[in-house]
Amino acid sequence: MLCSRRMEIDPLARALNETLTREAPTVFALLSERGKRLFFPVEGILGQTSEAKGSAMNATIGIGFDDVGAPLALPSLLKSFNLPPEDVLPYAPSFGLPQLRERWGAMLREKNSSLSVRLSLPVVTAGITHALDVAAALFVDPNDSVILPDPAWDNYALTFSSLYGASLSSYPAFRGAQYNLAALEETIARSPGSKKIVLLNFPHNPSGYTLTVKEAQDLAQLLRRRAESGDTLLVLLDDAYFGLVYEEGILRESLLSILSNLHERILIAKIDGASKEDCAWGLRIGFLTFAQRGMTDAVATALEHKAAGAVRASVSNACRASQAALLSLYNSPSYDAEKVRTFSLLHERYREVRRALTDSEIANALQFLPFNSGYFFCVALPTWCNADVVRRALLRDHSIGVIAMGNLLRIAYSSLPRKHIEPVLQTIAQVCRSQNPPENR
Ligand SMILES: Cc1ncc(COP(=O)(O)O)c(C=O)c1O
């Protein structure tokens, strides 16, 4: 009896599903079985707590207060924070602090000024990885296929495949110096069923590539063609490295601006956060925001409730102190100038990488994947060369740490002082030259 009750869909989930079925059937069609069951429990402890807010004797809240209504606090703990106790110690709402959600939403519009559709209010997650997890909970069923570039950030496999049971359909990210949109289109067309889940990540980890403006427009045409031919698409935009673009002619706004008004059969889930945008990696604050052509308020709210339900079910809520610290950062008069300084540092290193690559010894020994943005670039080793052997040699003999992925070496200039860039590249070139092709062995 208990078992069958547990699998029933809660009436609140049913109400959200009815809204989606009525107002956005294509969004409903994209939900996973888990996503259909998800809801935010507005009527339980949280709802009753919220109703009792402001009551003279409030015995609902699951934290401790002292006799004058301040959160119980251990002073030695508070010493680590330059924020009032009420901004640090209580729980945050599962949706995130309302002011932070509003602020991030407003900043999204400022950063993407050509956006033409309404967005849902961002739901706060415990980092960008968690926003990916919440999106997977809402939309990914076992055996769904998630379409990804190759190479891709390896954590996608852990989330989508190992945790949610999806299969991964990869396409080669590059054809020569360009993003391989033809391979992406073919992979979408080949992927079974009409529900398609496409993950796009620019600036891209590991290559450090962002689409040119022309490629972004071609991508939009491609996705529109798929939607017009009957596919229903969920496009997950992992914008973790948003803003770090170093060349002209490269897309500066999120793909959200270009894709969100394309077609009713395309739902965009924008996944971003403070981790890289605000150098706040360990604060663990990410955001999940939805957009769809013609999205109504009710649909946006239903999606926010489902996302907040997934947050409530996994981590309950994201760190309040981190959210308060970010709000205070966004209100700081020097925020923009501070961001320009960190951007300039990374930009300078990017330019140094580009300069070092013109050195003929390096240029003759190494091939690169295209790159123009982000934290990384990748050396593509010849197929006979084992990247992990090269990685180990660099570490053992030269104290240089890089990441080996397939036949790629990923080099994070984001963490390399400028003066080390050329010597690191020279050493990589030297170690690569010392690897013998099979015919010379
Ligand atoms: C492409 C990409 N997405 C997401 C993340 C995760 O960000 P967070 O640390 O906020 O979980 C990373 C971190 O390396 C990343 O490279």
* pLDDT tens digits, 21-43: 999 999 999 999 999 999 999 88
Whether 292 has a pLDDT exceeding 80, the answer reads: yes
Question: Which region among 44-53, 136-145, 426-435 has the lowest average model confidence (pLDDT)?
Answer: 44-53
Whether 153 has a pLDDT exceeding 80, the answer reads: yes
- Residues having CB closer than 6 A to ligand 1 are 127-129, 153, 201, 205, 238, 240, 273, 275, 281, 286
Please check whether the domain covering 335-440 is classified as CATH 3.30.420.40.
no
**pLDDT (average), residues 430-438:** 79
Question: Which region among 142-156, 186-200, 375-389, 408-422 has the lowest average model confidence (pLDDT)?
Answer: 375-389
> Contact 380/367 with Cβ under 8 angstroms?
yes
- Ligand 1 centroid distance, CA of 129 (Å): 6
Q: Whose CA is nearest to atom 2 of ligand 1?
A: 240
Q: What is the pLDDT of residue 437?
A: 67
Q: What is the pLDDT of residue 4?
A: 47
Whether 435 has a pLDDT exceeding 90, the answer reads: no
Kindly tell me the burial class for residue 225, based on how many C-beta atoms sit within 10 Å of its own C-beta (0-12, 13-18, 19 or more).
middle
pLDDT band of residue 396 (cuts 50, 70, 90) is very high
Q: Which residues on neighbouring strands pair with residue 150, listed in sequence order?
A: 172
* pLDDT tens digits, 69-125: 889 999 999 999 999 999 999 999 999 999 999 999 999 999 999 998 999 999 999
Q: What is the pLDDT of residue 57?
A: 83
**Residues of each domain in the chain carrying CATH 3.90.1150.10:** 335-440
pLDDT band of residue 441 (cuts 50, 70, 90) is low
**Residues of each domain in the chain carrying CATH 3.40.640.10:** 11-49+79-330
* pLDDT tens digits, 125-142: 999 999 999 999 999 999
Residue 203's contacts (CB-CB under 8 Å, 6 or more residues apart) are: 209, 210, 241, 242, 244, 245, 373, 374, 375
β-pairing, 376-380 vs 408-412, is antiparallel
- Ligand 1 centroid distance, CA of 229 (Å): 33
Measured between alpha carbons, how far apart are the two ends of the chain, in Å? 69
Tokens representing 244 are: 């770090």
Complete DSSP assignment for 338-368: HHHHHHHHHHHHHHHHHHHTTSHHHHHH-EE
d(C-alpha 303, C-alpha 176), whole Å: 39
- Ligand 1 centroid distance, CA of 394 (Å): 25
Q: Whose CA is nearest to atom 7 of ligand 1?
A: 128
Q: What is the pLDDT of residue 3?
A: 46
> Contact 404/411 with Cβ under 8 angstroms?
no
Kindly tell me the burial class for residue 436, based on how many C-beta atoms sit within 10 Å of its own C-beta (0-12, 13-18, 19 or more).
exposed
DSSP-derived letter for residue 279 is T
Helix crossing, 335-356 with 418-434: angle to 10°?
30
Q: What is the pLDDT of residue 1?
A: 42
Kindly tell me the burial class for residue 314, based on how many C-beta atoms sit within 10 Å of its own C-beta (0-12, 13-18, 19 or more).
middle
**pLDDT (average), residues 393-399:** 95
Tokens representing 56 are: 């003279």
> Contact 303/135 with Cβ under 8 angstroms?
no
pLDDT band of residue 53 (cuts 50, 70, 90) is confident
Mean pLDDT of the chain: 94
* pLDDT tens digits, 209-256: 999 999 999 999 999 999 999 999 999 999 999 999 999 999 999 999
> Contact 322/330 with Cβ under 8 angstroms?
no
- Ligand 1 centroid distance, CA of 403 (Å): 16
Q: Tell me the CATH architecture of domain 11-49+79-330.
A: 3-Layer(aba) Sandwich (3.40)
* pLDDT tens digits, 348-386: 999 999 999 998 888 888 899 999 999 999 999 987 788
- Ligand 1 centroid distance, CA of 128 (Å): 6
d(C-alpha 98, C-alpha 95), whole Å: 8
d(C-alpha 348, C-alpha 419), whole Å: 11
